[in-house]
Amino acid sequence: MIKRWDTSDDEQYFFDTDHANPSAGAGQTQSNSVTYNVTTPATPTTAEMSAAIIYAMQCIIGAKTEKGRLLNSSARRFVVRVPLTFMGAAAGALGSTVIADTVSVSNTLVTLATLAGYQIELWVDPRSVWTTKFAVFRADGRNPALVRQEEQALQIKAQAEGSPIEFAEDVHEYGLNATRAAGYGFWESAVLVTLN
């Protein structure tokens, strides 16, 4: 079970369908694990991928605080994390100017590359085991979904000028030492999309 690292009362999986929303009243929840219907979930079209990414962005922008205010209304930068099998569809959705869409009446769909005021980056994860899922993260703001943790700051070690190795071999040696990790932060800044 993936839990958030902070001290929230939520106690839910990081990606979950029923995060507590105290401002909405008893029994009211928010979700950052959503589904989106496509023709073939394992091989979405570029048009379907574009629409699914926009839906995920809407979910992030619509997340609310415990007082019912929009938490991410100023979000403008996003990162889309996809498995290798979604690379073509996602790259097309993010980079092409116009996509042929045989499903819609207009037969064209404006892509995310031309969505004014927003920056969307693609992160292809070849190690991902997802076959019908991808995630979208807010990449700006004060409440990141993923947090870089640092226990020990970067230290540089050197055997340089005047060292025995310089004298004997005419070289310098450098080393780095740090203790770092990455952890889950705020679920409100990320959405997992499962294609159905």
| pLDDT score, position 18 | 86
| pLDDT score, position 84 | 95
| pLDDT score, position 117 | 87
Residue ranges of the chain with per-residue pLDDT less than 70? 1-10, 21-27, 96-111, 113-114
Kindly report the three-state secondary structure assignment for every residue of 98-130.
EEECCCCCCCEEECHHHCCCCEEEEEEECCCCC
| pLDDT score, position 101 | 55
| pLDDT score, position 80 | 96
> Which pTM does this prediction carry?
0.75
State how far the Cα of 106 lies from the Cα of 16, in Å rounded to an integer.
35
Domain locations in the chain? 19-151+187-195
| pLDDT score, position 102 | 53
| pLDDT score, position 97 | 54
